A and B are shown apart, each in its own frame.
Chain A
């Protein structure tokens, strides 16, 4: 899987952690090798955001990405393998604190989706990123896990992850 990356210099890779913190919460952490100012920029400028939000290993691309990053502003991400097979994810920014904190809603589901809080804490030129999903209820998070959905954008990515594994496995066989 990593063979294609060998030509690129690999900077220090920090571990990513994920855990269900409580009945209603999921938390992901990772230290990024750069100051919070730059990390925040990469999360809030669409032209930068679209370069990393969908990992290259996924067979889809972000077809369009509209982000009005200010309190009350909305975002809309359209992605898929092609324009005729696309899924839109959307929501609203409810907190925008430059370089340290972003909070947004995930409104594509019928029931209330999770509210996502991303915090950026700079430590010696590096930034600890914490992504916190708060679901409206225990049942909502249980249901998301049971159905394989994580709500919002990652719902389809989870699906694709499975498909990528299938593709890789079938490529290995042929």
Chain B
């Protein structure tokens, strides 16, 4: 299970390391789109876009559905959440970050105190 999550972590990083793929996610955040739409929008060949979408799909960030001859892409289940939940996660990220900042600041304060004492001696 942990192994699986680790693989997913790597897949997410791989998927997000490319500017086009990040653009596709942003685009799909606005509305669903077909591979053809996306290829046009990003000035790519169909084959090229299919590859990008494949990587995103592998990472669970995008799902696709074929209706007739058109394959429609939308954000994967992992990305769908309401604004409140998103903001709470954003807050938690900053909270953890600020906790670490507090520690660094505490250490610098201590160092200043010690240095100040040394100067006075």
Other A-B pairs beyond A32-B98, A149-B29, 7, CB < 8 Å: A53-B100, A81-B9, A108-B19, A142-B30, A143-B26, A148-B75, A158-B86
Residues of A contacting B99 in the complex (Cβ-Cβ under 8 angstroms)? 13, 55
Residues of A contacting B114 in the complex (Cβ-Cβ under 8 angstroms)? none
Do residues A16 and B12 form an inter-chain contact, with CB atoms below 8 A? no
* A129 interfacial contact with B, CB 8 Å: yes
Do residues A155 and B104 form an inter-chain contact, with CB atoms below 8 A? no
* A115 interfacial contact with B, CB 8 Å: no
Given A30-B98, A52-B101, A52-B103, A173:B1 Cβ within 8 A: yes
- Which one of A35, A80, A85, A108 lies within 8 Å of B22 (CB-CB)? A108
* A131: nearest chain-B partner, CB-CB: B94
* A97 interfacial contact with B, CB 8 Å: no
Tell me how many residue pairs across A and B have CB atoms closer than 8 Å: 171
Residues of A contacting B88 in the complex (Cβ-Cβ under 8 angstroms)? 18
A2-15 toward B: CB 8 Å interface, digit per residue (1/0)?
00000000010110
Do residues A38 and B91 form an inter-chain contact, with CB atoms below 8 A? no
Do residues B94 and A52 form an inter-chain contact, with CB atoms below 8 A? no
Do residues A148 and B22 form an inter-chain contact, with CB atoms below 8 A? no
Q: Would you list which residues of chain B between 81 and 121 have a CB under 8 Å from chain A? A: 81, 83, 86-106, 108-109, 112
* B79 interfacial contact with A, CB 8 Å: yes
Residues of A contacting B48 in the complex (Cβ-Cβ under 8 angstroms)? none
3 nearest A-B pairs in the assembled complex, by CB-CB distance = A147-B29, A55-B96, A18-B91
Residues of B contacting A170 in the complex (Cβ-Cβ under 8 angstroms)? 1-2, 4-5
* B97: nearest chain-A partner, CB-CB: A55
Do residues A174 and B1 form an inter-chain contact, with CB atoms below 8 A? yes
How far apart are the CA atoms of A123 and B14 in the complex, in Å? 44
Do residues B90 and A28 form an inter-chain contact, with CB atoms below 8 A? yes
Most buried by B among A20, A54, A110, A160: A110
- Which one of B26, B81, B93, B94 lies within 8 Å of A109 (CB-CB)? B26
Residues of A contacting B39 in the complex (Cβ-Cβ under 8 angstroms)? none
Do residues B105 and A156 form an inter-chain contact, with CB atoms below 8 A? no
Residues of A contacting B81 in the complex (Cβ-Cβ under 8 angstroms)? 148
- Looking at the assembled complex, report how far the CB atom of A110 sits from the nearest CB atom of chain B, in whole angstroms: 4
